[in-house]
Amino acid sequence: MNLGSRFGSLFCIAAIAAAIVAPNAEAQGRRSTAPAPAANPPAEAVRLLKVRPNIYMLSAGGTNVTVQTGKHGVLLVDAPLPSAAAATFAAIATLTPAPIRYVINTSATRDHIAGNEAVAALGRTSGAGPTLNGAGNTVLLGSAQGMTILAHENVLNELTRATGAAAVSRDVLPTTEYFEPTRDFSFNGEPVIVQHMPNAHSDGDSIVLFRGSDVISAGDVFTPDRYPLIDRAHGGSVQGVIAALNAILAMTVPEAFAEGGTKVIPGHGRLCEETDVAEYRDMVYIVTDRVRDLIAKGKTLVEVQAARPTLDYDDEYRSAAVTPAMFVEAVYASLVADKVTKDH
Amino acid sequence: MQTTGFGGILGLAFMKTQQSLPFGAGIFAVALFQTAASVAWAQNVDFSGAWTPLYHEDGPERLPGPELGDYTGIPVTEAARLRADSYDADRISVVTEYQCRQHSADYSMRGLATLRVDSEVDPPTQRLLAFHTRIGFQAMERTIWLDGRAHPPPEAAHSWQGFSTGVWNGNVLTITTTHLKAYYLRRNGIPSTPNRTLTEHWMRHGDFLTVVTIIDDPAMLTEPLVRSQSWVLDPGQQMGPTECEPATELPGAAQLVPHHLPGTNPWLHLFADEYGLPYAATRGGAETLYPEYRSVMGQPAKPPPAQCDVYCICSTLFDCNRVPGTNLLGGRIPGVPVGGPARAVAPPAATAPPRPAAQ
């Protein structure tokens, strides 16, 4: 396959994918189902960071994709942004001629799943599994698109509920869904352990442990460059985020002096290690404690936001995707909902 | 100029010899080559060796540690002040992930441990490629690259020692360090973020090393934080190995992050009260850094203590048994009456607040 000649069509496919999958949530508590606005989004620059000999972090537009390479092919944790798909595939082609055979979606959030279409499209014209260089992959895996897309069943449920402009093509659905707490399999000679993080950023979050490489791909439960995006409308809660971060901390092991060892690839932001996760967990924990205290004093959401419980973290974690007010609102709603549940 | 090592001596000697040689083209070429080599070497000061820190600057802060609520001298932002107010030192012991952490590169230069500097040269060219530093506490090892390499991209992992590159400005080595992990600027909890940049100027004067550190951290500092530290050459120094293994100290600690809710930290006034300072003057901020602040600060509520009697370290440098009014060498301090036995070293246990764990 001539990858270069296909970039144009990939952009079209990417644009279609962007149009049919819900765009990035602009506010806490709701995942927008409106079509993506850009018909031909500008191409994102892709940066490739080697994490381990066979694990890479691909960054484009502030979103990360984990790439595992090896004898079985390429495994992606999350699909690239549609606007970065072509550049992502070109970057992967510099690593290996092997086809992309596995995609794990860590949630239903658009910026991690919209690129499924572009990945699936790689294999269509060859009639075989997705391949980057025409190396002749002839193995059909999983669903009809010729590769396996794995996610928690709540991701599949969410995507199949979408209708109209937000409807998702069957080709890009994660039809290899799992419902148990943990799904594991071996790929490229190492155990890959997919673990559900209940009610964290959403109700369908997964984190992925590459046990041999000692790398965790955390998805959007850990985003060190911004406050957590807590999708309240789809089961997200701050309690779940803290639990997920604690779960990651329980899995990470530093090499020495609280450094090195397990690498953590976040959904957004820089490559991290255990103490980076701990710092982030502490921030979420402390802000949550402050909001809880204000709620106990009878403060309304507006009053809590006016008290600025995130003041000391805003310059470090404020982003357009998650403003301090949005984060506080999500924390407030999580705590109030929890209180209502306990009261009943 | 600090010119050390065989190469430097050879360069200078050769330059002197050239003055008496016949002026031939070949010789001139050699002379040019050697002169250039010696000039290049002259730009480099050899920092390699073993160094012991001196504590005549900011000793009370660096040895016994800062007092709780003492933010003086730091141009903190409002955000940094709130985060420091919220800080509970239990955090670095209860949260096991922090127990064995190193000091970050900016803080380690303030610390208590000895320093060793090794140089790395390119064998064929003998060009200096890097300095490798090791500070004894928690095996803090850093490489200062001098070969012109670029810093990693922003998405690369951060570390306690960060990524350092150095350039020569005459005899001053200017080092830029990025990719540092979040840490604190002062041990009582004034924070630093992983987005900060550390600039150092290393200067050698004979057997003394002076390091000026400049920290830019816009989220936590309204202006760069400039401090200096000195070291003395200590050739006999021996540095032992370091090990650390974290251990859970409380049941359920994995779910616990010690901190103070806003307005509930009971220790913030201790420092102001002890020294009779206006509370606002202890809260830090750029406006409190400069002498002009004295005119608006207000008068202390009481005179300062005659000598350190709380949070002291009773070493030669801070001799708690020293007769008031005398200096470290036993001489009189002009204008200060001499006399009376030294006061008790430690405060009554009942009034002693908890201390941050030394780290």
CB contact under 8 A, B257 and A274: no
Cβ neighbors of A195 (< 8 A, separation 6 or more) are: A181, A182, A206, A207, A208, A209, A247
Q: Residues B117-130: what's their mean pLDDT? A: 94
**pLDDT at position B328:** 59
Class of domain B49-233: mainly beta
Cβ burial, residue A51 (10 Å; 0-12/13-18/19+): buried
pLDDT of residue B318: 55
Structure tokens at B169: 């400005």
C-alpha pair distances (Å), A57 with each of A95, A142, A222, B214: 12, 25, 15, 32
How is residue A228 written in tokens? 């957590």
Longest dimension (CA), chain B: 85
B254 → chain A, closest CA residue: A246
Answer yes or no: do A313 and B83 touch at CB < 8 A. yes
**Between A and B, how many CB-CB pairs are < 8 A?**
108
Using pLDDT thresholds of 50, 70 and 90, give the confidence band for residue A150: very high
Q: Is the pLDDT of residue A30 over 90?
A: no
Q: How far apart are CA A42 and CA A85, in angstroms?
A: 11
Tens of pLDDT along B17-76?
A: 333 333 344 444 444 434 443 333 435 799 999 999 998 888 878 877 888 999 999 999
CA distance B359 to B355: 11
How many helices, marked H, and strands, marked E, lie in chain A? 10, 12
pLDDT tens-place string over residues A168-198? 777 788 989 999 999 999 999 999 999 999 9
3-state secondary structure of A143: coil
Q: H or E segment at B271?
A: helix B270-275
Query: Hunting for tokens 């959401």 — which residue is that?
Result: A301
Q: Are A95 and A70 in contact (CB under 8 A)?
A: no
Distance (Å, whole) CA B69 – CA B79: 15
Q: Does A270 contact B139 at a Cβ distance shorter than 8 Å?
A: no
CATH of the domain at A175: 3.60.15.10
- Separation between Cα atoms, residue B201 and residue B333, nearest integer Å: 34
φ/ψ of residue B99, rounded to 5: -55, -40
- Tokens 């193995």 locate to A139
For residue B16, pLDDT over 60 is answered with: no
Condensed to tens digits (0 to 9), the pLDDT of residues A119-136 reads 888 754 444 445 444 444
| Residues B250, B256: Cα–Cα separation, whole Å | 9
| Mean of pLDDT values over A11-29 | 34
pTM for the model stands at: 0.82
ipTM of the complex: 0.83
pLDDT at position B355: 41
B/e letters for A171-193, b = 16+ CB within 10 Å, e = fewer, are bbbbbbbbeeeebeeebbebebb
- Contacting residues for B157 by C-beta, under 8 A, at least 6 apart: A263, A270, A271, A272, A273, B179
Q: Which residue has the higher pLDDT, A37 or A56?
A: A56
Residue B208 distance to chain A (closest CA, Å): 30
Residues in B touching A259 (Cβ below 8 Å): 101-102, 159-160, 181
CB count in 10 Å sphere of residue B129 = 17
User: Mean pLDDT score of chain B, rounded to an integer?
Assistant: 80
Domain encompassing residue A24 = 3-343
pLDDT in tens, A248-264: 999 999 999 999 999 99
Half-sphere exposure of B310 (CA within 13 A, CB side): 19
Q: pLDDT > 70: what percent of chain B?
A: 74
Q: pLDDT, tens digit, for every residue of B337-355?
A: 766 544 433 433 434 444 4
Q: Note whether A258 contacts B100, CB cutoff 8 Å.
A: yes
Q: What is residue A38's predicted lDDT score, i.e. its pLDDT?
A: 41
Q: What share of chain B is helix, strand, coil (3-state, %, to 5)?
A: 25, 25, 55
Q: What is the pLDDT of residue A175?
A: 87
Tell me the pLDDT band of A42, cut-offs 50, 70 and 90.
low
Q: Count CA atoms closer than 13 A to B276's CA, side-chain side.
A: 8
Alpha-carbon distance of A77 to B204, in angstroms, equals 51
Q: Looking at the 3D structure of chain A, how many domains does it have? A: 1
Alpha-helical segments (H) within A21-115:
85-93, 110-113
Which of residues 26 through 45 in chain A touch B, CB cutoff 8 A?
none
Q: Does A222 touch chain B (CB under 8 A)?
A: no
Q: Which is more confidently placed, B213 or A125?
A: B213
pLDDT-derived band at B226 (thresholds 50, 70, 90) equals very high
Confidence of residue A279 (pLDDT cuts 50, 70, 90): very high
Query: What does the angle CA B157 – CA A285 – CA A302 come to, to the nearest 5 degrees?
Result: 120
Q: What is the pLDDT of residues A78-129, one digit of tens each?
A: 999 999 999 999 999 999 998 899 999 999 998 888 888 888 887 544 444 4
Q: How big, in percent rounded to 5, are the helix, strand and coil portions of chain A?
A: 40, 20, 40
pLDDT at residue B292 is higher than 50: yes
- Report the residue from B77, B100, B254 with minimal CB separation from A246: B254
pLDDT: is A332 or B39 the higher one? A332
